[in-house]
A and B are shown apart, each in its own frame.
Chain A
């Protein structure tokens, strides 16, 4: 019996599919503290991100874009995770997320902090798609840097 598409279930977990079908935080912000466009040059996936800052707190975020299910769901999952966090916390989360994608062992504490974003763990088995999951996170860092210089 030849293998079918069953292994894909690890990649396309229900949480991810849900975020792809119904992406969160897609409303445009009226007066964003910063705004970035990120493109993955290898595949053309696009993410547009806007941040609203309240002091050092990331009070609002908007993520839209065009691309594959992984890149777009990752943007939506990210938006839920970082909203309400300080910029330092958001940067920490990015490191934790990147660590997860690079195959680091996850402690219970890290797993708790990444919350629903753990659903992207399955991408690790499909190395060529890891860049899809990381696109929004690099956009976030650019947007935070931009917001910090704009101050």
Chain B
């Protein structure tokens, strides 16, 4: 057990109104946090506060409301900057979500830097969001996409990585933590390998930033993408961190208001960072609420968040080890594994399991988890996934496991085992 201040989970739970909701006659057991997290009252109230008290457009008014909105919007950027230890606020760009952040890099940086014969290296455990933009870029430019494989123990094959990253590599794109396997990858090692050949390192941080201390400078990555809604914040807002000297020379990819410096009928020049990449009226309310979510997590301490999730995950792995018929995907030990337990059953399809658990008020994810190639490489078409966060308890793991046993017995009686 990691020492430190353990989370006061009951107090945390009291901040999340949704956790008292009844689903099919049971108190909700919410175990779909890798898809999206629930929101604390503080975040919900900050949205109401913004719209009731100082709703206004940013960066363009001289009136009081606009000044307040602009200050709160930029203050939230500063909170995110400190949260991931980015070198400057200008290196934090607001986007819609992780996918948009990745697309921004693929279009803006990618089209300027990747050409025919170049190579893009990604991994076997990426979300579709970190595969498809690179596939498309490779097709547009005549480049090649290479995949770092997964080992039998659910880790990245770092030996293969070393030989796949070559002088032709322009970018290495890897997830910090797999949304299916829970595997936490050694980003620093990949970044070192990338930098050695003059390539840039992009990290999909959608699953890591909400759950562990993340320091973009210590990881030495050039880009990091993540979404607010998986870290207690609202939907519709995400972040792209970019190394300032790289962002500085990247061309804009969307054009419009706020991203320009000067416009004539013939031409336009571009605004400074980060606004060059934030065309149009931004998602002001949700950016501010993201700052509140970051405050909430910072007050808990990300070391403590990680320690709590390690404890719940270790407990769950222990329980699953004693469950016949259920097959775990990914690492079986909690070391370098986040709070994600994916599994399939020998004979019951994950949707049937999911529907049964829903009858018991238990929310898990089922299906391909937006990682079709990974799921198929495991010889299955679908998996069930339970994922934990700050408000989940070992008692909820028991509810899940009891539910799975009850579901299995139901399907056994139904004759489909």
Contacts and interface: CB of A to CB of B under 8 A. Distances in A.
B407 interface: yes
A70 B360 CA distance: 20
A129 interface: yes
B381 A4 contact: no
A8 B351 contact: no
Interface stretch (B45-53, B153-161, B270-278, B408-416): B408-416
B30 to A, nearest CB: 17
Interface string B362-385: 000011100010010000011000
B356 A70 contact: no
B351 A129 contact: yes
B359 A43 contact: no
Interface in B331-388: 349-352, 355-356, 359-360, 366-368, 372, 375, 381-382
A129 B366 CA distance: 12
Given A68-B351, A69-B349, A43 B416 contact: no
B384 to A, nearest CB: 11
A8 B355 contact: yes
B24 interface: yes
Given A3-B24, A3-B25, A44-B375, A132 B351 contact: yes
Contacts of B25: 2-3
Interface string A1-45: 011110110011000010011000000000000000000001111
A11 B353 CA distance: 13
Interface string A79-111: 000000000000000000000000000000000
B368 A44 contact: yes
Nearest to A123: B355
Contacts of A11: 355
Contacts of A46: 381
A136 to B, nearest CB: 15
Which of A12, A42, A132 is packed against the most chain B CB atoms within 10 Å? A12
Contacts of A70: 351-352
A8 B415 contact: no
A44 B355 contact: no
Given A2-B26, A43-B367, A67 B381 contact: yes
B15 interface: no
A39 to B, nearest CB: 10
Which of A42, A43, A44, A70 is packed against the most chain B CB atoms within 10 Å? A44
Interface residues of B, number: 24
Given A5-B406, A66-B381, A12 B414 contact: yes
Given A3-B359, A21-B416, A43-B367, A69 B382 contact: no
Given A44-B382, A69-B352, A7 B359 contact: yes
B116 to A, nearest CB: 31
B381 A5 contact: no
A129 B415 contact: no
B355 A43 contact: no
B368 A43 contact: yes
Contacts of A2: 25-26
Contacts of B360: 3-5
Contacts of B368: 43-44
Given A43-B366, A66-B381, A67-B381, A5 B359 contact: yes
Contact of B367 (A4, A17, A44, A129): A44
B375 A17 contact: no
A126 B372 CA distance: 25
Contacts of A126: 355
A4 B24 CA distance: 9
Contacts of B352: 68-70
A47 B375 CA distance: 18
Interface string B18-34: 00000011100000000
B29 to A, nearest CB: 12
A20 B406 contact: no
A68 B349 contact: yes
Given A7-B359, A8-B356, A44 B372 contact: yes
Nearest to B27: A2
Given A43-B351, A45-B382, 4 more contacts: A7-B24, A42-B367, A44-B375, A128-B355
Shortest beta-carbon contacts, A-B, top 9: A68-B351, A3-B25, A68-B349, A44-B368, A43-B367, A5-B410, A66-B381, A44-B381, A17-B414
Interface of A: 2-5, 7-8, 11-12, 17, 20-21, 42-46, 66-70, 126, 128-129, 132
